[in-house]
């Protein structure tokens, strides 16, 4: 059984120091803070590691984000794993629920989240399964 949740989110990225003060300047680390609206109401908190290149619009990032709130009224938390690349503007983004990371009414959740940015506003589509849903 697959379900779909949609909505928008606000995001704040805050640069953080790298563990290695002598790291290459193409590397970066950011704190993630999100507020989800719509079918998913809650917050996301996490960390992102970035890798920039000298080629315009080519970069990559990985991130781990803990989402806490309510998904269509079911309360709990789960973890998302992000993996993304941009190859001269062509984007590839994979955001997946970490297996067995769901808690409370979201226990057993699995799925994939996609992001769309239109006119500077962020939107999500979340295709998920929740085997314990009643």
CB 57 within 8 A of CB 30: no
Those residues with Cβ within 8 angstroms of residue 47's Cβ, 6 or more apart along the chain or in another chain: 16, 29, 30, 31, 32, 63, 64
Q: What is the pLDDT of residues 25-84, one digit of tens each?
A: 899 999 999 999 999 999 999 999 999 999 999 999 999 999 999 999 999 999 999 999
Q: CA 91 to CA 98: how far, in whole Å?
A: 22
In this prediction, residue 114 carries a pLDDT of 96
- Could you report the per-residue pLDDT of 100-132, keeping only the tens digit for each? 999 999 999 999 999 999 999 999 999 999 986
Query: Who has greater pLDDT, 22 or 44?
Result: 44
Q: Given pLDDT bands bounded at 50, 70 and 90, which one contains residue 1?
A: very low
CA distances to 5, 30, 70, 109, 132 from 1, rounded to whole Å, are 13, 35, 19, 11, 11
Q: Is the pLDDT of residue 20 over 70?
A: yes
Band (pLDDT 50/70/90 cuts) for residue 22 is confident
Q: Give all domains of the chain, ordered by start, each with its CATH number.
A: 3-129 (2.40.350.10)
For residue 46, the cross-strand partners are 32, 65
- Rounded CA separation 67/128 (Å): 14
């Amino acid at each position: 059984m697959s379900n779909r949740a949609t909505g928008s989110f606000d995001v704040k990225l805050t640069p953080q120091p790298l563990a290695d003060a002598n790291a290459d300047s193409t590397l970066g680390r950011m704190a993630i803070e999100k507020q989800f609206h719509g079918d998913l109401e809650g917050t996301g908190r996490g960390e992102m590691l970035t890798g920039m290149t000298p080629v315009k619009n080519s970069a990559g990032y990985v991130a781990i984000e803990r989402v806490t709130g309510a998904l269509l009224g079911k309360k709990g938390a789960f973890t998302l794993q992000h993996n993304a690349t941009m190859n001269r503007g062509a984007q590839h983004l994979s955001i997946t629920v970490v297996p067995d990371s769901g808690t409370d009414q979201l226990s057993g959740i699995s799925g994939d989240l996609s992001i769309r940015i239109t006119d500077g506003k962020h939107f999500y589509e979340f295709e998920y399964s929740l085997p314990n849903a009643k």
